[in-house]
Amino acid sequence: MHRKAGVPEVEVVETEKIDLKNPLLVMGFIGAGVVGEIAVNHIIDQLNMKEIAHIRSRYMPPSVVFTNGNLKHPFRIYSDEKGKLCVVICDTPLRSDGLYPIASTILDWAEEKGVKELVVLEGVPVRGIPKERETFCAAEPEKRKECEEKGVKMFSRGIIHGIVGSILNECLTRKIIGVAFLTPAVAFIPDPEGAAALISTLNKTYGMDIDVKELLKKADEIKRKLKEVAEAHRRMRRAEEKSGMAERIYT
């Protein structure tokens, strides 16, 4: 059945009925290295999760995504078979003036479904490929101790902007515990190794067992291609310097 014309401010449209049992809510958005989005997509695939809802909003660009020819809403909610884990993923940027309405609507839905805790997976942009893949945590006091006991380091100070910041800010006024797992990530290219680091921390903290081998294989492939590009660039620079072209370019 088609909906009436007109895009709402923000609306969660449920497409499948499932008995959710106070689920943990994990969220990933477009950010540094696209690590949050990559991580959540990987979780969906590994756990064979089912789409149960999508979000409509005038604050989203007029776009649609497709995978293997299948059209999808860009802002989707999934659940596992047992109704114990839900994930939210957004494949498109959001307008800044819509971040609070979107965050508020998502958390209204989450409270209605009995969510007590949510985790946002996000990257912190850095130059180049990070040598060490540590994950850090920012959380409310009652959750910080638990994360530290499981070996997750805390961020001492900082500001989280955008939709992630809006959601965590909204958690502070509600009975939902907000947690952010953050990892240094390549700023402008997809970073599956960063996504794998976030999932590993999620596994450790919440007793999950999501395999990240596939992500690490993709990371190795990306590194190999980057090395090839860097080597080709070095060869080109050496050839230019030999012929004197490099000096002439900048005169």
Q: Domain spans of the chain?
A: 10-211, 212-251
* Range with lowest mean pLDDT among 8-12, 141-145, 184-188, 226-230: 226-230
Instruction: State percent of the chain over pLDDT 90.
Output: 52
Non-local (6+) Cβ contacts of 176 within 8 A are 107, 110, 111, 115, 116, 117, 118
Q: Which of 101-105, 129-133, 189-193, 239-243 is modeled with the greatest confidence?
A: 101-105
SS3 48: coil
In degrees and rounded to multiples of 5, residue 36 shows phi and psi of: -65, -45
Specify the pTM.
0.84
Rounded CA-CA distance 167/90 in Å is 13
Per-residue pLDDT, 7:
78
Report residue 44 CA to chain centroid gap. 12
Inter-residue contact 201 to 120 (CB < 8 Å): no
pLDDT of residue 153: 86
Please tell me the predicted confidence (pLDDT) of residue 251: 38
Q: What is the pLDDT of residue 3?
A: 54
CA pair distance 107, 41, nearest whole angstrom: 21
| Res 157: pLDDT | 75
SS (H, E, C) 204-232: HHHCCCCCCHHHHHHHHHHHHHHHHHHHH
Lowest pLDDT segment from 27-31, 115-119, 154-158, 226-230: 226-230
Residue bearing the bigger pLDDT, 10 or 5: 10
State the pLDDT at residue 250: 40
CA distances from 14 to 52, 77, 184, 209 (A): 6, 9, 34, 28
pLDDT of residue 224 exceeding 60, the answer is: yes
What is the C-alpha separation between 120 and 243, in angstroms, rounded? Answer: 52
From CA 142, how far away is CA 149, in angstroms rounded? 12
Mean predicted confidence (pLDDT) in 219-227: 70
List the single range of 71-85, 95-109, 147-161, 203-217 with lowest mean pLDDT: 147-161
pLDDT greater at residue 69 or residue 89: 89
Question: Any idea which architecture 10-211 has in CATH?
Answer: 3-Layer(aba) Sandwich (3.40)
Please check whether residue 61 is in contact with residue 1, taking contact to mean a CB–CB distance below 8 angstroms. no
Q: What is the pLDDT of residue 246?
A: 47
pLDDT, tens digit (0-9, with 9 covering 90-100), for 135-177: 999 998 888 888 888 888 887 777 888 999 999 999 999 999 9
Cα 47 to the center of its chain, rounded Å:
17
The residues that bridge with 119 in the sheet, in sequence order, are: 26, 179
Predicted confidence (pLDDT) per residue in 88-143, tens digit:
999 888 999 999 999 999 999 999 999 999 999 999 888 877 877 889 999 988 88
For residue 243, name the pLDDT band (cuts at 50, 70, 90).
low
Residues 228 and 233: their CA atoms lie apart, in Å, by: 9
Identify the residue with better confidence: 238 or 251. Answer: 238
